[in-house]
Structure 1
Amino acid sequence: MRLAGALVLLAFVLCHLINHMLALVSLDMAIAGHDVLMEPWESAFGTGLLLAAGITHYANALWAVYRRRTLRMGTAEAWQLGLGLTIPFLMMIHLSGTRLGEVFLDLDPGYPSVLLNQWVFSPWKGAIQGALVLVVWGHACSGLHLRYSARDWYIRSQAWLLALAVVIPTLSLAGWVAGGSHVIRAAADPAWVGTVLADAHSGPQTQAQVMRLALNGVGLHLLLIALPFVFRSVRGLRGGKRPQLTHSSGRVVRMAPGSSVLEALQDHGIPHASACGGKGRCTTCRVRIRGGLAQLPPPSLLEGAALARIEAPAEVRLACQLRPEHDLSIMPLLPSDAVAADGRLHGGLDGRERHVVVMFIDLRGSTTLGEAKMPFDMLFILHRFFQQMTRALTLTGGHYSNFTGDGLMALYGLKGSDSRKAVTAALAGAREMTASLERLNSELAAELPVPLRMGIGIHYGEAIVGTMGPPGAQIISAIGDTINTAARLEGLTKEHDCPLVLSAAAAEAGGQAFPGVPRHQVMVKGRIEPVEFLAFADVPMGQVSA
């Protein structure tokens, strides 16, 4: 209902602003455009639709103020709410001389009479009109940004949307100024002024009547916005259980009854991410429940849909939607300055120990090749190489983690805990990579002095997996002894002159048996026990052990 009401109001505002733009051509053009753009809104259906949308949107805003347990909020959310509550104060001055004046004062205003009033009789009303355009447009843009900033289409279109956000009000205000200039010149003729006022049914008492109507509207708005604060005070007198919230920083706070975790953190000045303003859309406020999970209510439909979108495990919840009734211990999973795009990161990979298959790939002889090729030729070859490798990963369910010069690191088994499937997929990925390299050598035969070669190391073990890196450039990666071992195994492909080295731990975890393939051992820095591995001249299909 909030979104539907907002979109109807936005459609009306756009029609109004476009109508103002027509005054850049001429005032007559704006008057003619009014019949096309604004007359439908003045019909019985249009007026009813607009009234329903306005009441719905307004009531939702008051309800949002009442429902909040704290008035502390993020900057973007505060701007949106503040601008929204300011609109009726400014709008009453305009409405009392137009639509409300038609209903209660029998006025028949048009562009000439409205502009005459704003630019000649009461210029202060013109200043308020300009402010109203900017406040309404700012409120609409901030609302759309909070709602859609995490969507792919919004991120791709952000430059164009920003341009429209600037151009539309600028041209509209320019048209309004152009129309005002025309009226100021025409007002030098008293006969023209008299005709305009007569057509608008405006008499000597009209200004005073319009002002009384505007003041009544402002008073009503003040009364209505006071109501949620009064009811908030009454609700606070009732008391209730105040659960204890333990933050991973060590802070322990008491939550107001019915408060969300996000509101409790904001109320006590603990920084926490919330790119969408606590609407349950961006998931940047996600937290891991460290204590009290069993006593929590299940996610609502809104929270459940958001958590499902990022494939979050059961212990991950949204702070903005979670309203616990019992003591709770939490750990934020994203930095407090996370942006909406960060909310798209996988919900189950926010720094935890888990078993995973790690693969390292390295292109052989790239240094020698780089000496024989021009830089742009070398970059082209590396681009094609990485393109083929990442394609192979995508086809076999692997995750590209990061690249290191002429090599890359990949992870298998991020989703689920079936080690057999993870190892089997990694071997399939290795086979696809070697096949892709052969095709690449064939395509670039005329460019390469010798065919490209590569080495692949695969290991299985426990690692810390999660989103890592600086804010705005985080990736899903892994750290730990398993990664170091996989990198060492990849290096052994040079010593054994083979394309693949597979750890015995990975073979056993995947249930793979390779009879007749000898096992070797190597000491890895940081490990006491040697690592067993198998070296393959060709990437095997693998066999399931008994």
Structure 2
Amino acid sequence: MSLTSTSPSRHTAVEARGDLRDLPWACMARLWSGIILFAFVLTHLLNHAVGIFGVGAMEYAQHWRWLLWQSWPGTVLLYGAALTHMVLASYRIALRRTWRMPKDEAWQIVSGLAIPLLVAGHVLNTRVASSWFDADISYHAILYNLFPAALFSQSMLLVVSWSHGVIGMHHALRYMHWYRNVRVGGLVLAVLIPVLALAGFVAGGREAIHRPAPAARTPEQIAGLDRASTLVYSGVAGFALGFVGLIGVFYIRRRVVHTVTVTYRGYGPVEVPCGTSLLEASRMYHIPHPSTCRGRGRCSTCRVQILSGAETLPQPFGAERAVLASIGAPGSVRLACQIRPEHDLSVRVLMPVLGRQLGGDQDAEAREWAIERDATVLVLDLRAFSTLTHNRLPYEIAVLVNRFSSEMTQAVESHGGRIDQMYGDGLMAVFDASDKRAGGARAALRAARDMTRVLELLNSEMRGALPIPVRAGIGIHTGSIVLARVGDGVSDNLIRAIGNTVAVAVALEAASKEFVADYVVSTETAEASGFDFSHLTKREMTLDSNGMSVSAYAIPDVTTLDAIMAGKLRLGMLNPAHS
């Protein structure tokens, strides 16, 4: 996420109280240093994975990896990123006002603190041994010495470092517009890569121990590594002691500084140490307050309305200002994770956690209530329903409606769709084929064809009982929707599709009357499906008073739709009146 420029007053306030973690350059440095370290771990694990093909393949891949990471630029970049990430992350942890947090955030902290301890020995026996003492660190030599004695410790290092990086990358990228399109593939790779790396490590290790033993390290090398080991582990211990001391200093400072009163609308006043963020205050007092980005200022779910005391807060800057601008928030709305009141404040949480039963991981529960994804929405409405039911007995109406509901549900579900809403004279269905727009669009068109066939069957069976034949208009549109739970608890609710895509599908169905067509299909659905609509006339529709328009194709009947999906539609096949 790009950061905008910051106001001088905000910089002064931040620097004055020492909140380095709030500065834009610190946030970006922590993020990019993490990305560099993740890239190193990724290339290292991929190098392990080729061990499936033998030690020779590992050493060949290692040669190319060393060109990147053992060059002077690569070395400076790698160790600079490691130092930057350790210092800034440790500082951020030390400044925490509460240890109540979601499970994945807790694992990131625990794994991040464990990595230096786990990796120190590995670095000593590879980079330090090679650069300082000219030791052999080829895969043959390393695997011969490590396998199988160090299999558990190396596997632990792999799992801890990889999971730490994957969680960090997920939270860094999840708000990118393209992320949901690659999320499934990314999850597969996140599981597959470490599994292959472990398999390659085992396969390579078994081969290495059956090869001739590599040259043993000289007494001078062993003595030098012992001295380096003492130095490295002393540095790690010193860093750990400094980290613990920093936590103690900040804890004492929080105990002696004055407190501020934050009054939550609906929850009452709470007292917190000066400098505590509103999100931390909510967690300290178990006030429901979602934040899907874990308080990093990348989402807007933790936003609050400042009811009083807004004048005592510094102006939004950096990530907060960018996020608030992206959602068009008024001046009284702020991000709870980014404001640290130094005077009394009164606020209202704008996005409370839904559901009566509040669990420990409030952020995970918030994500259970809504998800955005691409899907195809189909809206169907029966024509002249009042005429169909006029002077009919209640039982006759019930028979018609239930038969209609049953047949339509079967038509939708047989093509992988889901009935979102069913009402007396119509329905709305959602087709989502695992993030593949083509699959959802094609399924919706096939279901629409089957629905018309079912209505023809109903007309044939109930000809004597209906005053007029049953007909329907169908609108289909593909785009982004929000699938939101509507109800009073996760176990007692319905999932509903919400968003502009739904409104467009409804408008397309209404337009089918004007076009005298059984189906009106948006160009987005037509393009996503891959079917050939080129011989139909594209129509422009204005949807609202603001001039929003959509392009669509009017399909007159099921025969034409059949021809489109069969790929048999040719110029001149249609009646000119319908084209």
- How high is the TM-score relative to the length of structure 2? 0.59
Residues 301 and 104 (structure 1), Cα distance of their counterparts in 2 relative to 1, 3 Å cut? same
Q: Which residue of 1 aligns with 2:309?
A: 292
Task: Structure 2: state its 5+ residue gaps.
Answer: 1-28, 354-361, 374-379, 390-398, 414-419, 429-447, 460-468, 475-483, 500-544, 546-579
Residues 328 and 374 (structure 1), Cα distance of their counterparts in 2 relative to 1, 3 Å cut? closer
Q: One-letter code of the match for 1:254?
A: E
Checking the alignment, whether the CA contact within 8 Å between 1:468 and 1:476 is kept in structure 2 is no
Q: Which residue of 1 aligns with 2:197?
A: 172
Q: One-letter code of the match for 2:321?
A: G
Q: Which residue of 1 aligns with 2:48?
A: 20
Mapped pair 1:65 → 2:93: yes
Among 144, 148, 169, the alignment partner of 1:144 is 169
Mapped pair 1:308 → 2:325: yes
Write out aligned runs for 1:312-391 (5 A): 312-334=329-351, 335=353, 336=362, 337-339=365-367, 342=370, 363-366=382-385, 368=388
Q: Which residue of 1 aligns with 2:238?
A: 220
Measure, in 2, the Cα distance between the counterparts of 1:382 and 1:51: 56
Among 116, 123, 144, the alignment partner of 1:95 is 123
Among 220, 234, 249, the alignment partner of 1:231 is 249
Measure, in 2, the Cα distance between the counterparts of 1:213 and 1:86: 19
Measure, in 2, the Cα distance between the counterparts of 1:95 and 1:64: 26
Residues 32 and 235 (structure 1), Cα distance of their counterparts in 2 relative to 1, 3 Å cut? same
Residues 325 and 227 (structure 1), Cα distance of their counterparts in 2 relative to 1, 3 Å cut? same
Q: Which residue of 2 aligns with 1:82?
A: 110
Mapped pair 1:184 → 2:209: yes
Residues 27 and 253 (structure 1), Cα distance of their counterparts in 2 relative to 1, 3 Å cut? same
Mapped pair 1:197 → 2:216: yes
Residues 307 and 119 (structure 1), Cα distance of their counterparts in 2 relative to 1, 3 Å cut? same
Write out aligned runs for 1:105-504 (5 A): 105-119=133-147, 123=149, 125-186=150-211, 192-193=212-213, 195-197=214-216, 205=223, 208-209=226-227, 211-233=229-251, 235-236=253-254, 239-334=256-351, 335=353, 336=362, 337-339=365-367, 342=370, 363-366=382-385, 368=388, 404=423, 406=425, 449=469, 469-470=486-487, 473=495
Q: One-letter code of the match for 1:275?
A: T
Measure, in 1, the Cα distance between the counterparts of 2:224 and 2:144: 14
Aligned-partner SS, 1:163: helix
Q: One-letter code of the match for 2:215?
A: V
Residues 126 and 298 (structure 1), Cα distance of their counterparts in 2 relative to 1, 3 Å cut? same
Checking the alignment, whether the CA contact within 8 Å between 1:258 and 1:323 is kept in structure 2 is yes
Measure, in 1, the Cα distance between the counterparts of 2:349 and 2:209: 60
Aligned-partner SS, 1:157: helix
Query: Whose radius of gyration is greater, 1 or 2?
Result: 1
Measure, in 2, the Cα distance between the counterparts of 1:228 and 1:204: 35
Among 71, 75, 79, the alignment partner of 1:43 is 71
Aligned-partner SS, 1:288: strand
Residues 266 and 378 (structure 1), Cα distance of their counterparts in 2 relative to 1, 3 Å cut? closer
Q: One-letter code of the match for 1:225?
A: F
Residues 329 and 215 (structure 1), Cα distance of their counterparts in 2 relative to 1, 3 Å cut? same
The farther-off stretch of 163-172 and 143-152 is 143-152
Aligned-partner SS, 1:55: helix
Q: Once the 2 structures are TM-superposed, how far is the Cα of residue 380 of structure 1 from its aligned partner?
A: 11
Q: Once the 2 structures are TM-superposed, how far is the Cα of residue 128 of structure 1 from its aligned partner?
A: 1.6
Q: One-letter code of the match for 2:281?
A: A
Residues 254 and 473 (structure 1), Cα distance of their counterparts in 2 relative to 1, 3 Å cut? farther
Measure, in 2, the Cα distance between the counterparts of 1:371 and 1:316: 51
Q: Once the 2 structures are TM-superposed, how far is the Cα of residue 55 of structure 1 from its aligned partner?
A: 1.7
- Residues 32-87 of structure 1: CA distance to partner in whole angstroms, max 9, x if unpaired? 11111233210111101112211221122022123323333222211112111110
- Residues 217-269 of structure 1: CA distance to partner in whole angstroms, max 9, x if unpaired? 432331342243143135336x4442211223434211211111011122233
Q: How many residues of Structure 1 are paired with residues of Structure 2 in the alignment?
A: 394
Residues 119 and 294 (structure 1), Cα distance of their counterparts in 2 relative to 1, 3 Å cut? same
- Residues 383-419 of structure 1: CA distance to partner in whole angstroms, max 9, x if unpaired? 9xxxxxxxxxxxxxxxxx977454589xxxxxxxxxx
Q: Which residue of 2 aligns with 1:543?
A: none
Measure, in 1, the Cα distance between the counterparts of 2:344 and 2:371: 26
Aligned-partner SS, 1:197: coil
Measure, in 2, the Cα distance between the counterparts of 1:203 and 1:468: 64
Residues 270 and 371 (structure 1), Cα distance of their counterparts in 2 relative to 1, 3 Å cut? closer
Q: Which residue of 1 aligns with 2:39?
A: 11
Checking the alignment, whether the CA contact within 8 Å between 1:260 and 1:319 is kept in structure 2 is yes
Measure, in 2, the Cα distance between the counterparts of 1:284 and 1:214: 43
Measure, in 1, the Cα distance between the counterparts of 2:284 and 2:406: 55
Measure, in 2, the Cα distance between the counterparts of 1:245 and 1:38: 54
Residues 152 and 138 (structure 1), Cα distance of their counterparts in 2 relative to 1, 3 Å cut? same
Checking the alignment, whether the CA contact within 8 Å between 1:280 and 1:318 is kept in structure 2 is yes
- Residues 172-211 of structure 1: CA distance to partner in whole angstroms, max 9, x if unpaired? 011011111112223xxxxx32x4325x998554674464
Measure, in 2, the Cα distance between the counterparts of 1:23 and 1:289: 58
Checking the alignment, whether the CA contact within 8 Å between 1:259 and 1:323 is kept in structure 2 is yes
Q: Which residue of 2 aligns with 1:462?
A: none
Q: Once the 2 structures are TM-superposed, how far is the Cα of residue 152 of structure 1 from its aligned partner?
A: 4.4
Aligned-partner SS, 1:244: strand
Measure, in 1, the Cα distance between the counterparts of 2:143 and 2:412: 65
Checking the alignment, whether the CA contact within 8 Å between 1:261 and 1:319 is kept in structure 2 is yes
Task: Structure 1: state its 5+ residue gaps.
Answer: 187-191, 346-360, 384-400, 410-439, 455-466, 478-509, 511-546
Measure, in 1, the Cα distance between the counterparts of 2:198 and 2:385: 60
